């Protein structure tokens, strides 16, 4: 009896909450529909990884083949190179792109001239709004065979560098451009968290004779820990999710040794070769590894004293 009353009271509270905030729930409907259609809906396609899928037979008519495509992937001579490249690009991008916004936010937080601080923030946000294709075009204008950098090298009597045909330059260009594009926009979350730090903590540190470095190390960073932990876990999940578009635009057969990743391999197999089942298996494997990275990052965060998100 008591459980029924409790259940009814919970339902009643839920209904009252919806009635009170119905406008907010109404605003959620379009986003929820888009999420279902374009995120959860396509997940049904995972079934292709276990079928010999053909367009004419569809999901229901295509025969199941179990783990055949996964066995093919693991026995593929390219698998080791693809996995290694994806891991290296993702890890190096994470190591540079994750701390950069935090460091940038901490530096901006120490700037006392409000006008200068606002100008720097506005300029740093601009790269985020540049389309990826345009950004890669800018990189080509700077580092191409007849770009600004090579023109400068030639004027100094130095040999031009073929940045886009030498594999050793792919990672520096990829990671450097990624940091440039995300550092300003990524710092917004940290700047917001910095404004919520209790000012009395800084006043107490001043009374103890702490300098700026001590306040940043013993007050600012500990206060930012929940934000840092959350973003650490979310960014760790992207290690294996190396963006296809940017790699595809910046790479060439001459740099495949380091730039050929799982996402570009899925494109070649699925779109160019119409091998849908095999490409689905490769994509599913990639997503499973990405999930493992999220769980690992969450466990590390808990070990270090954070709460985690799972």
- Rg (C-alpha) for the chain, rounded Å, is 25
What average pLDDT values come out for the chain (310 residues) when binned by 10 residues?
57 80 90 88 84 84 89 91 92 93 91 88 91 92 89 89 89 93 92 86 83 85 87 86 86 88 89 87 90 87 68
pLDDT confidence of residue 40: 83
pLDDT confidence of residue 4: 57
CB atoms within 10 A of CB 262: 26
Pair of tokens at residue 120:
């720097």
> How far, CA to CA in Å, does 183 sit from each of 133, 189, 301?
19, 11, 23
**To 10 degrees, what angle do helices 221-236 and 79-97 make?**
160
pLDDT confidence of residue 103: 93
pLDDT confidence of residue 113: 87
pTM score of the predicted model = 0.82
pLDDT confidence of residue 98: 92
* All structural domains of the chain: 76-303 (1.10.3720.10)
> How far, CA to CA in Å, does 310 sit from each of 228, 245, 295, 298?
15, 30, 8, 7
Ordered DSSP codes for 152-195: HHHHTTPPP--TTT-GGGHHHHHHHHHHHHHHHHHHHHHHHHHH
pLDDT confidence of residue 21: 86
Rounded Cα distance between 86 and 241, Å, is 8
pLDDT confidence of residue 310: 61
């Amino acid at each position: 009896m008591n459980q029924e009353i409790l259940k009814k009271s919970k339902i009643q509270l839920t209904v009252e909450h919806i009635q009170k905030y119905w406008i907010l729930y109404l605003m959620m409907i379009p986003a929820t529909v888009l999420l279902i259609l374009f995120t959860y809906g396509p997940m049904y396609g995972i079934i292709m990884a276990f079928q010999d899928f053909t367009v004419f037979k569809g999901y229901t008519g295509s025969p199941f083949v179990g783990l055949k495509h996964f066995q093919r992937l693991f026995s593929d001579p390219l698998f080791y190179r693809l996995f290694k490249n994806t891991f290296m690009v993702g890890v190096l991008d994470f190591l540079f792109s994750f701390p950069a916004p935090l460091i940038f936010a901490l530096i901006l937080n120490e700037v006392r001239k409000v006008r200068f601080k606002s100008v720097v923030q506005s300029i740093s946000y601009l790269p985020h709004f540049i389309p990826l294709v345009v950004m890669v075009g800018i990189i080509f204008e700077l580092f191409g065979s007849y770009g600004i950098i090579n023109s400068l090298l030639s004027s100094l009597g130095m040999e031009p560098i073929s940045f886009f045909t030498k594999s050793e330059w792919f990672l520096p260009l990829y990671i450097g451009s990624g940091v440039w594009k995300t550092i300003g926009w990524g710092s917004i979350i940290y700047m917001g968290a910095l404004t919520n730090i209790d000012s009395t903590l800084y006043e107490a540190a001043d009374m103890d004779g702490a300098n700026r470095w001590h306040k940043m190390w013993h007050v600012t960073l500990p206060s930012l820990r929940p934000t840092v932990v959350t973003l650490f876990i979310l960014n760790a999940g992207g290690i294996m999710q190396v963006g296809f578009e940017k790699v595809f635009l910046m790479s060439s057969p001459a740099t495949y040794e380091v730039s050929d990743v799982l996402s570009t391999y899925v494109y070649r197999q699925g779109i160019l070769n119409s091998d849908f089942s095999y490409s689905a298996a490769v994509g599913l494997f990639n997503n499973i590894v990405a999930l493992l990275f999220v769980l690992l990052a969450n466990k590390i965060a808990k070990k270090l004293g954070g709460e985690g998100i799972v």
